[in-house]
């Protein structure tokens, strides 16, 4: 919750007029608790999990959008029943593990210093922090992934993630509940090392999931991008 009753008080504290983005942020967040703002992550993750893979799933099921030539495993496709099982299981893990974890992890966010106040971060601050977050996540995820491919890690945990040998976007978060918890560590470590604003944290969580969906899309998405744009 912002400690200002009016925009004039906020501008006086900041020492300048608020930008359009800061004015919108003030109007939305001034009377809302920090915990309520943090819990937006649950909504954002749900939307990313459910909406971002839709075009890829549509292309997989209908052979449309002209993407067949970019499919990494062109001879292997998931049926509608398999796609539905994946979607259903992913959402079950979301509601039983990911969502509750987000709701109870707020104290750790406060401890590391994620802020919600004004001023909002500059574009350079947001960009530099996101670069750090991606680098830290990529490095730590690599070593955790290696552990998950050890004999014990694969048999007990990671084999669930590989049940779909020809992945589509919805398989990105398809995993054993323990793997979902373990792989949350790399995503949180970057913000812990370089804490920023809540809006940066929201953006990071969303971008990280979109990256995972792209990685598991089953298509050479970078080639698609250059081909179309």
* Domain spans of the chain, in order of start: 1-32, 33-228
The reported pLDDT for the residue numbered 220 is 78
Count of residues in the chain? 229
Q: How confident is the model at residue 28 (pLDDT cuts 50, 70, 90)?
A: very high
Could you tell me how far CA 137 lies from the centroid of its own chain? 12
Residues 6+ apart with CB under 8 A from 222: none
3 state SS of 42: helix
pLDDT tens figures, 53-108: 888 888 888 876 667 777 888 777 788 898 899 999 999 989 998 889 888 999 99
Mean pLDDT across 198-222: 88
The reported pLDDT for the residue numbered 176 is 92
pLDDT tens figures, 146-191: 999 999 999 999 999 999 887 788 888 899 999 998 998 999 999 9
Cα dihedral 190, 193, 194, 197, rounded to 10, equals: 70
pTM of the shown model: 0.89
Q: How confident is the model at residue 229 (pLDDT cuts 50, 70, 90)?
A: very low
Residue with the two structure tokens 């698609």 = 224
Asked whether 93 and 173 are in contact (CB, 8 A), the reply is yes
pLDDT tens figures, 111-128: 999 999 999 999 999 999
Instruction: Tell which phi-psi region holds residue 125, choosing left (phi > 0), alpha (psi between -120 and 50) or beta.
Output: alpha
Least confident of 21-25, 108-112, 126-130, 225-229: 225-229
Identify how many contiguous H helices and E strands the chain contains and give both numbers: 14, 0
Residue with the two structure tokens 């001023």 = 119
CA distance 12 to 20: 16
Task: Count other Cβ atoms within 10 Å, centred on residue 146.
Answer: 10
CA distance 194 to 109: 12
CA distance 6 to 129: 30
Q: Return the percentage of the chain with pLDDT > 90, whole number.
A: 59
Q: How confident is the model at residue 215 (pLDDT cuts 50, 70, 90)?
A: confident
CA distance 22 to 51: 28
Is the sign of the CA dihedral 30, 35, 36, 39 positive or negative? positive
Could you tell me how far CA 139 lies from the centroid of its own chain? 17
Mean pLDDT across 7-16: 91
The reported pLDDT for the residue numbered 64 is 67
pLDDT of 222 higher than 60: no
Least confident of 23-27, 71-75, 220-224: 220-224
Q: How confident is the model at residue 201 (pLDDT cuts 50, 70, 90)?
A: very high
Instruction: For 137-190, give the DSSP string.
Output: HHHHHHHHHHHHTSHHHHHHTGGGGGS-SS--GGGTT-S-HHHHHHTHHHHHHH
pLDDT of 228 higher than 50: no
């Amino acid at each position: 919750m912002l400690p200002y009753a009016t925009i004039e008080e906020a501008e006086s504290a900041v020492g300048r007029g608020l930008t359009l983005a800061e004015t919108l942020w003030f109007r939305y967040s001034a009377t809302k608790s920090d915990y309520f703002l943090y819990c937006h992550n649950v909504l954002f993750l749900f939307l990313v999990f459910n909406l971002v893979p839709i075009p890829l799933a549509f292309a997989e099921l209908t052979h449309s959008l002209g993407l067949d030539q970019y499919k990494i495993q062109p001879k292997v496709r998931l049926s509608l029943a398999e796609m539905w099982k994946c979607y259903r299981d992913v959402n079950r893990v979301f509601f039983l593990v990911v969502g509750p974890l987000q709701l109870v992890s707020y104290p750790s966010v406060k401890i590391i210093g994620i802020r919600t106040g004004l001023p909002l971060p500059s574009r350079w601050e947001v960009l530099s922090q996101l670069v750090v977050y991606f680098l830290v996540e990529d490095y730590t995820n690599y070593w955790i992934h290696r552990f998950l491919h050890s004999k014990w890690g694969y048999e007990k945990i990671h084999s669930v993630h590989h049940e779909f040998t020809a992945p589509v976007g919805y398989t990105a978060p398809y995993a054993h509940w323990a793997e979902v918890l373990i792989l949350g560590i790399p995503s949180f470590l970057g913000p812990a090392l370089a804490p920023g604003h809540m809006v940066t944290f929201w953006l990071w969580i969303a971008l990280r999931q979109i990256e995972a969906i792209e990685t598991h899309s089953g298509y050479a998405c970078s080639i698609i991008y250059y081909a179309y744009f």
